[in-house]
Amino acid sequence: MKTVTVSKFPALTIKNGTVDLVFSEEQLTTCTAQALKNGWFNGLTIVDSEGKRYIVERAEFVRKKGTRLFKSLFAPKLIEVRLIFKEGSPFPVPLEDLKRYLTKALDSNSGFWESAGIDIRELKQRIQQSSSVDEIMALVTPILTAAPAR
């Protein structure tokens, strides 16, 4: 099996109604044991800053990280995983496909996005007007890294 790593960060991760932005391989491969057990990574789509799409087939446990998700006695401990990508990854992602992935994710979890104070109609319109992966990354980065709405 050929080892594949995500080429360029930041990268978008997309699954169902969840869209996230990761800035490093370490951030991408750190999770809780429960996330691994529940299959969070299975079928996860990753789109890097160069417009390459990676589809995760599954993830495997590598090691305990020795830290917790947040500071609390009862907080879950973090682990490191190795991502196993579908054969052929990475795939080029046409701009129209990336737009479709994002708008589908927004539509499938619209209540979450609206509760964060995001105008979904406007965001989807701006995504559709984007003419490059760079434009989409510049559009979603402040939204996905902003402090919680007041």
Digit-coded pLDDT (tens) for 49-91 = 999 999 999 999 999 887 767 677 677 788 999 999 998 889 9
Contact 57, 89 (CB under 8 A): no
Q: Residue 8: pLDDT above 60?
A: yes
Report whether the peptide linkage leading into residue 90 is cis, meaning its omega lies within 30 degrees of zero.
Answer: yes
Rg of the chain's alpha carbons, rounded to an integer?
Answer: 16
Return the pLDDT at 82: 94
Say how far apart CA 57 and CA 85 lie, in whole Å: 5
pLDDT above 90: residue 144? no
Q: What are the domain boundaries of the chain? A: 11-92, 95-145
Look at residues 125, 141, 150, 132 and name the one whose alpha carbon lies nearest to residue 19.
141
Query: How many other C-beta atoms can be found within 10 angstroms of the C-beta atom of residue 101?
Result: 19
Residue 133 has pLDDT above 60, yes or no: yes
Mean pLDDT of the region 118-128? 92
Q: Which of 101, 110, 92 is nearest to 136 (CA)?
A: 101
pLDDT one-digit tens code per residue, 92-118: 999 999 999 899 988 888 888 888 888
Q: How confident is the model at residue 150 (pLDDT cuts 50, 70, 90)?
A: very low
